[in-house]
Structure 1
Amino acid sequence: MKGKVLVVDDERGIRESLRGILEEEGYKVSLADSIKALKERVEREHYHCVLLDLWLPDGNGLEYISYLREKLPGSALIVMTGHGKTEHAVRAIKEGAYDFLEKPFSMERLLLTLERAIRERVKPVKALEDKIIGNSKAILRVKELVKKVAQTEASVLILGESGTGKELVARSIHELSSRKEGAFVAINCASLPDELVEAELFGYEKGAFTSATQRKPGKLELSHGGTLFLDEIGDLSLRAQAKLLRVLETKEFTRLGGTQVISSDFRLVCASNKDLKEEAKKGNFREDLFHRISVFVIELPPLRERGEDIILLAEYYLDRFLKDYGKPAKYLTEGAKEVLLSYEWKGNVRELKNLMERLAILHEGVQIDERDIRRLLGVELSTGDLSSLLLEKDFKKAKREFERLFIERRLKENNYDLKKTAEDMGIDLSNLYRKIRQYEIRVEI
């Protein structure tokens, strides 16, 4: 048994689907359809993880996170909702949830999150430090710039598409600087609403607003002696930009609801996926703030422009995650490498890294071929690929590939209703679960 899981959701179809999937994966599953049923369950039994829907008929799941932490010490909590709002995700994580899943989520994402949550509940995975990986001219130039600017106190602006590794570069600057013994404090300006960004940056006094039940220092205060990293600074409101500019000019501020002036000595590193010069022309970003934060600019190339680095990165992350999860060695075939090289990588290094992590966890066997890569990337097989099944000499391999394609098509036709798909195919639901897992088919729940 991998662990005991409690699924709390008021939709019967979702509860039953999750139970079938998780039991097939080796988890012992209990169900609850309300807060009342949840309480009854946790009073009688201990669980390794709770999958909690936020919107239940007799209460808001957010209000019961602290209750679950008290009743199930050491257990992991994963929050689910079909009405995703950033503030709910932030609050859930702040109050102790391991992760936040917005419906519909893929079975693959659920299983990966659940496996991590239960494992890290017991023993956190030893973190392997990320590095700036690559030998392309563009990335070698980035490494050179990082070394140069790290030795200064200049404000740095890192520009690049989402997923290109902006935070990794910011951390590298911090680690190579004279402030490396201080804290590296990061905040993602795009993930929080305006009022929460200000509370996170400046901190607040007890009673500053309704939910401020105690004093909390902000990121500006916590980064004293270290580095403050403002990710996606282009998403800050003009009001927050004005406040930040004053702090950068004086290195002084007050907490929300407070009067005491606080000083903080920090090094500022910012990042954005927007053209801030253009945003300033449009009136969306203060020009004076832009000049203040961009004393030194580092531009990160998208992965599609780093062709010679793609396989190097893929093999680095695959090896890293295999070691991380204690899995046996696997390797990429030449066909798999060709697919990786021809893919667009709109999510850049982050997308490639996530793909390698999924392969490390989900892929059975030693060899990873082009079909394995295409399947996880969601790239459709061409007519030529389908015809190639007729040329496949290995009967078992051709049969497996046909089964996978057949199941994928039936799932799509039935809008991923597992029960209906099983009936349509004339097989047991448990058999369908096994096939989905066997062929690593993505299923939206």
Structure 2
Amino acid sequence: MSSEKILIVDDHKRVRVSLQMLLQDEFELVNTLSNPKSLLSELQSCQYDIVLLDMNFSAGINTGNEGLFWMQEIKKQNADLVVVLLTAYGDVELAVNAIKNGASDFVLKPWDNNKLIITLKTALKLRNSKLKIQKLESDKRELSKELNHNQTEIIGQSKVMMDLKKVISKVAKTDANVLILGEHGSGKEVVAREMHRLSNRCENVFISVDMGAISESLFESELFGHEKGAFTDAKEAKIGRFELASGGTLFLDEIGNLSLEMQAKLLSVLQCRQVTRVGDHKARNIDIHLLCATNKNLEKMVEEGSFREDLLYRINTIRLDVPALRDRGGDIVLLAEYFLLKYAKKYNKGKLRFTIEARDKLRNYSWTGNVRELQHAVEKAVILSEQNMITSDDFLFKQINGQAVRISPKSFEEMEKQMIIMAMDRYKGNLTHMAKELGVTRPTLYHKIKKYDL
């Protein structure tokens, strides 16, 4: 028995009784009406899922116009309510007219019990599928709006940032593939989200994928999806990131971390703009605006044979270079003020201000972790502040070999974080050299960098 409720409207008692007896084991609730004049008030008093409606009520009239009239009144009140019409007159033109005006289906009297039940169940399944699709589309739009609303904006008035903003505003209106380059923490994803916000796809979803965090064994499943039973743990079908992003923007971060085998699979999809789920043979078309980002020198990787030249050409129609924070001059204090307001509000600290000395210290510090490091430094200062002024002493830096680094770590994790920051600065983000110096593997170092958001 289903959980749906059905209302039967027919002026013949025998018909109502027969239908009620037939359907009482199929539906949670089966009610009947003999007169359609009380139909609308009945629909307001109970949340029905389907109405089985006779088309003729007046003696001697068999045009079906009465049924069409009441069906239209039902649809005015609830457009999603399923209406199946009953008639003793098998007129094909009347049936077509009823379907055009909103009927889900048409049943002739006398009916076949099994066919009638199948007709009602099928109409409900179609209705439920339609409602589910509508909800998914609505949720997708709302999620996209929420994500775009809450995204970090591009803040900066330095010449390099103003030039970058101009290019973004021009490129965002196109579907050209864009490669975003910049150091760790410089704001590559912020740039990607701004491009989506300014694009013609802004009402659709923005999907961000950290390519460095996807293992080679799960690469196809995560990006292209899989069918149920495609492999041991595939208990349900899964939509890949490419399909999820279709109609919107797909941002592939850390693309320089892909193996050559994964690069080949990615290139194939980008060339044909189709994905095939693991365990399936059907190719699905995708419509995405592709944005990629990395802190690596891809041209050098091409020369070394670790990155495909044809993939680089495919993703690099437009190249955007995000400047390091140390090259942005007055933007350092501007960003610090932005983060100060944000975290003062978040932690209920009232109105906080920087002292002149604090501003100078922030301005003169070599931000190896770029905007992300500045953000964390300000947040920590706000949390620990006990007055309405953030002083230079709230930022614990010292100079080692001409470079400013944090001091006085209060935990093993903070010390580990500082060691990674120092190695990152020395080797300009080269994970191989950093891992060798720190005595860890590249994957371990990569996960540490993600853990500390460096």
Give the TM bin, normalised by the shorter chain.
0.5 to 0.7
Give the Cα–Cα distance (whole angstroms) in 1 for the partners of residues 202 and 295 of structure 2: 26
Task: Tell me the secondary structure at the aligned position of residue 209 of structure 2.
Answer: strand
Structure 2 unaligned runs (5+)?
Answer: 1-145, 401-406, 416-454
1:365-384 mapped onto 2 (5 Å cutoff) = 365-374=387-396, 379=398
Give the Cα–Cα distance (whole angstroms) in 2 for the partners of residues 213 and 379 of structure 1: 54
Pairwise CA RMSD of aligned residues? 2.8
Aligned counterpart, 2:234: 212
Task: Tell me the secondary structure at the aligned position of residue 270 of structure 1.
Answer: strand
| Cα pair 2:151 2:193 within 8 Å, conserved | no
Give the Cα–Cα distance (whole angstroms) in 1 for the partners of residues 354 and 149 of structure 2: 24
- Which of 184, 187, 190 is 1:168 aligned to? 190
Distance 1:207-1:410 versus aligned 2 partners, 3 A rule: closer
- CA shift, 1:339, in A, is 1.5
Give the Cα–Cα distance (whole angstroms) in 2 for the partners of residues 247 and 328 of structure 1: 51
Task: Tell me the secondary structure at the aligned position of residue 307 of structure 1.
Answer: coil
Q: Which moved more, 1:253-262 or 1:191-200?
A: 191-200
1:392-403 mapped onto 2 (5 Å cutoff) = none
- CA shift, 1:409, in A, is 9.8
Q: Does 1:354 align with 2:376?
A: yes
- CA shift, 1:208, in A, is 2.3
Higher RCO, Cα 8 Å, sep 6+: 1
Aligned counterpart, 1:149: 171
Distance 1:204-1:411 versus aligned 2 partners, 3 A rule: closer
Count of residues in correspondence between the two structures: 264
Identity %: 45
Give the letter aligned to residue 250 of structure 1: C
Please give the TM-score of this superposition, normalised by the length of structure 1: 0.56
Give the Cα–Cα distance (whole angstroms) in 2 for the partners of residues 158 and 139 of structure 1: 14
Give the Cα–Cα distance (whole angstroms) in 2 for the partners of residues 234 and 262 of structure 1: 26
Task: Tell me the secondary structure at the aligned position of residue 155 of structure 2.
Answer: coil
1:221-240 mapped onto 2 (5 Å cutoff) = 221-240=243-262
1:35-114 mapped onto 2 (5 Å cutoff) = none
Instruction: Extract structure 1 runs of 4+ deviating beyond 3 A.
Output: 126-129, 378-381, 408-412
Give the Cα–Cα distance (whole angstroms) in 2 for the partners of residues 299 and 143 of structure 1: 11
Please give the TM-score of this superposition, normalised by the length of structure 2: 0.55
Aligned counterpart, 2:363: 341
Give the Cα–Cα distance (whole angstroms) in 1 for the partners of residues 409 and 366 of structure 2: 24
- CA shift, 1:411, in A, is 8.9
Give the Cα–Cα distance (whole angstroms) in 2 for the partners of residues 379 and 175 of structure 1: 40
| Cα pair 2:247 2:287 within 8 Å, conserved | yes
Q: Does 1:134 align with 2:164?
A: no
- CA shift, 1:371, in A, is 1.1
Give the Cα–Cα distance (whole angstroms) in 2 for the partners of residues 328 and 268 of structure 1: 41
Give the letter aligned to residue 388 of structure 2: V
Q: Does 1:242 align with 2:254?
A: no
Aligned counterpart, 1:115: none
Structure 1 unaligned runs (5+)?
Answer: 1-123, 382-404, 416-445
Give the letter aligned to residue 159 of structure 1: L
- CA shift, 1:410, in A, is 11
Q: Does 1:287 align with 2:309?
A: yes
- Which of 332, 351, 356 is 1:310 aligned to? 332
- CA shift, 1:324, in A, is 2.9
Aligned counterpart, 1:274: 296
Give the Cα–Cα distance (whole angstroms) in 2 for the partners of residues 230 and 249 of structure 1: 16
Give the Cα–Cα distance (whole angstroms) in 1 for the partners of residues 154 and 353 of structure 2: 22
Task: Tell me the secondary structure at the aligned position of residue 351 of structure 2.
Answer: coil
